Structure 1
Amino acid sequence: MVIKGAPHQIWGEPIKQKIIVKMSWTLIDAADSLQKFCQEVLEEKPSFIAIDCEFVRQTTYWPHLGLLQLATPNHAVIIDPVIHNLSLGPLEAILQEPSITKVFHSGHQDIEILYNLLGDCPRPIFDTQIAAAFAGLGEGLGYEKLVNVLLDIKVSKDEQFTDWLKRPLRQEQLDYAIHDVLYLKEIYGLLKDRLDDLGRQNWPEEFFLNLSNPKTFAIAPEKAWQRLRAPFSKWQQYSILWDLAAWREQYAQTHNISRSLLADNRLLLDLSIAPFMEQAELKETLKSHRQKLNTDALFENFYRCYEKAHQFLDQDDLTQQHRKQIIKAWTSQSFQNQLTTEQKQAFKNMRITVQKVADQLSIPVSCVSNRREIESFISCPDASHKLLNGWRGGLLREVLKSFLNQGEN
């Protein structure tokens, strides 16, 4: 539930007036200007830098960066990498500087862009959407809503559908872009102070670390099947999905085309459980999936993979055995499928208990624990479990004692 109102209404703190965000900014579209800005920031070593990306990704696998906006307490810039094909290499030192916190809002896609361009994730990270949840403002709070709630400012949406790759950009579009980070740096200060006041400054750290981990963004084609989280019952079905998802990922990356324009998840899942089809039958089946594999060359490419995926099931060799072991190990992580009837009831009771704790703190239950963590605890209760240690342990250790004792009996 999102708590409405300005900070003085939400947190009971006086605010003298509506926050007015004004700051001059600079447009950077040349290498020497970018180098100079980066040197100034590294010499100044501000405590944080707010970051936002404007990009286009409707039909491509890799997002095309249109603008990069940055704001420190004393500087604000818009970097235009498009007009002169500007390299962002000079930014690496800033993005990796441990004394400068990189502030994003719902930063997954922004960080993914920087990871793909520069080969590493920014760190350390502070995500205001995550922080807002831990501060009691609600889960998944959008940027415009957060600006309105904390700064009492209504963000204009007039330029939100801009083609950020088209040049020249109008002044209104540039103003829209820069205000994303000007507001963001103000929000950061408010949320950081609020988490400090609540004694929760370290609670979101696990989520922030995940965003700074390259494994979050590096998608190996041979592991793409895992992201679909298919509820299959047979290893053979997972094996077919393995090959089909790997083909889609590799083709999409190589040709820079959106996965969904090749084959959507539903198609891959359906084909993984369906009996083998000859070319004519499969082509007929695909007619119900408009704009999927819709050229002869693309279909032929896909069909070769589809055919090999089924042939692999008949190999019965070490390669197949190795894949079966990987699939078994991965599916065993879905503890809910392996819980006894008694454990399933304990799982339900524990979810209710954790939900009550979250409600008392006015934070989403996902901040405290997710489904998989509860499943793992019920499956194998242990005092060293993540839920009983750190800040979570302080919240849950007493209320989960009965569940721990049940597991020991």
Structure 2
Amino acid sequence: MTLITTTDALTAFIRSLQGADYVTVDTEFMREKTYWPQLCLVQVAGPEAAAAIDPLAPGMDLTPLFELMDDPSVLKVFHAARQDVEIFFHLTGKIPTPLFDTQVAAMVCGFGDSVGYETLITKLTPARIDKSSRFTDWSQRPLTDRQLQYALSDVTHLRPAFEKLRKRLAKTGREHWLTDEMAVLTDPATYTLTPEDSWKRLKVRTEKPRFLAILKEVAAWREREAQRKDLPRQRVLRDEALVEIAAHAPATPDQLARTRGLGENLARGRYGTELLATVQTALAIPDSQLPRPEPRVEPAPGIAPIVELLRVLLKMVCDESEVASRLVANAADLEAIAGDDEADVPALRGWRRELFGEAALRLKQGQLALAIAGKKVKLVELGN
């Protein structure tokens, strides 16, 4: 097992990967005590060599690794890439490209929705993954041989799995099916954390504009404070406290101190001063500029049975084509199609329309019917 702990060794390893058409990549990180993920280990494997890179080693400079991630001639292969990519984006401001996510590819190849790494490897290779080190503390040093073996297996077993998925995609002509999903993963907006949008994560029962304005401002304050101090947002202020502040709009430290979980000291300290000022800022927003929830579109009467028929069609088509249904259409897409033949949803564009959308519209228009033949559902052409 190779553990790289010096910049020179890292440079030599990255140099050894020159000419490789792809590398498999994984990371180990900790996030329980920080806002930003703390990178603890990076595993990289080429077609032959593999190594674990220790970013916490004294004097370690990860520039050679970042240059590899930015090399357009080398495909970077991840499984469930979003969190790993977020780490690289936070550290460098760049997204590893070109990118291939084996979880998405597995969905295209019929392995189900969001298939896990262990399941995918078991189905595609003879390897069996030892996950006993999954919840280890990766920030502790020294790392044990067992930890390193576990970490490296996440990239060494990914090599044959990726190669088999790539062959299946080429054989079925579905490489372009990944394009939309990869576009999301390589879009910087996916990883840009905007404090002003953080209130949308909170579940609230009221949609009063003034309440939402206060909630938006105090949630943005918490997000900026969590980023500044590199603390989990719940460690700065819990969600329940934000909602209560928005509901009561406290104007004094005494009123703020009544917020559950806040306390007298916090209410009269810097946090309290800034929170009260933030509430006043929200109260001063003109009515015309208050945030408003997205209008709820109630389904038209009688549309529910159409949605259910489309759901059966989706399941049937995806089973026959061996593709995960979640990749083709979701519940909102089905509702939109049920109500509008020209709905602006992915399921009515590109390969999704060819696979499912056209049949969905013809089913709606009475040109197709669903029938049971034996133990299977099939489509039946209807005459005029």
TM-score for both structures, normalised by structure 1: 0.78
How many Å apart are 1:124 and its aligned residue?
1.7
Q: Aligned AA for 2:300?
A: T
Could you report, residue by residue, the CA deviation over 1:321-378 in whole angstroms, capped at 9, with x for unpaired residues? Answer: 44x3xx34xx43x6xx124534854555544543443344343321112344445556
1:33 to 1, 4, 9: 9
Counterpart-to-counterpart distance in 2, 1:96 and 1:246: 32
Q: Aligned AA for 1:391?
A: W
How many Å apart are 1:199 and its aligned residue?
3.0
Counterpart-to-counterpart distance in 2, 1:169 and 1:295: 43
3-state SS, counterpart of residue 183 of structure 2: helix
Give the 3 Å change call, closer, same or farther, for CA 93–268 of structure 1 in structure 2: same
Structure 2 residue aligned with 1:341: 300
Q: Aligned AA for 2:81?
A: G
Structure 1 residue aligned with 2:379: none
Counterpart-to-counterpart distance in 2, 1:37 and 1:69: 12
Counterpart-to-counterpart distance in 2, 1:235 and 1:100: 49
1:220 aligns with 2:194: yes
Alignment of 1:131-170 (within 5 A): 131-170=105-144
Give the 3 Å change call, closer, same or farther, for CA 102–316 of structure 1 in structure 2: closer
How many Å apart are 1:69 and its aligned residue?
0.6
Alignment of 1:173-212 (within 5 A): 173-212=147-186
Q: Aligned AA for 1:390?
A: G
Q: Which runs of 5+ in 2 are unaligned?
A: 367-384
| C-alpha RMSD over aligned residues | 3.0
Give the 3 Å change call, closer, same or farther, for CA 298–221 of structure 1 in structure 2: farther
Contact preservation (8 Å) 1:138, 1:363: yes
How many Å apart are 1:396 and its aligned residue?
2.4
Contact preservation (8 Å) 2:257, 2:267: no
Contact preservation (8 Å) 2:217, 2:282: no
Give the 3 Å change call, closer, same or farther, for CA 294–99 of structure 1 in structure 2: farther
Q: Aligned AA for 1:38?
A: I
1:55 aligns with 2:29: yes
1:296 aligns with 2:272: no
Counterpart-to-counterpart distance in 2, 1:377 and 1:232: 29
Contact preservation (8 Å) 2:106, 2:112: yes
Could you report, residue by residue, the CA deviation over 1:62-90 in whole angstroms, capped at 9, with x for unpaired residues? Answer: 11111111001022121111122422222
Contact preservation (8 Å) 2:95, 2:188: yes
Could you report, residue by residue, the CA deviation over 1:108-128 in whole angstroms, capped at 9, with x for unpaired residues? Answer: 211111111111111121112
Alignment of 1:109-128 (within 5 A): 109-128=83-102
3-state SS, counterpart of residue 157 of structure 2: helix
Counterpart-to-counterpart distance in 2, 1:69 and 1:226: 34
Structure 1 residue aligned with 2:356: 396
Q: Which runs of 5+ in 1 are unaligned?
A: 1-24, 288-292
TM-score for both structures, normalised by structure 2: 0.83
Counterpart-to-counterpart distance in 1, 2:206 and 2:168: 44
Give the 3 Å change call, closer, same or farther, for CA 275–402 of structure 1 in structure 2: farther
Contact preservation (8 Å) 1:69, 1:178: yes
Give the ranges of 4+ consecutive aligned residues of structure 1 lying more than 6 Å apart after TM superposition: 403-406
Give the 3 Å change call, closer, same or farther, for CA 239–314 of structure 1 in structure 2: closer
Structure 2 residue aligned with 1:386: 346
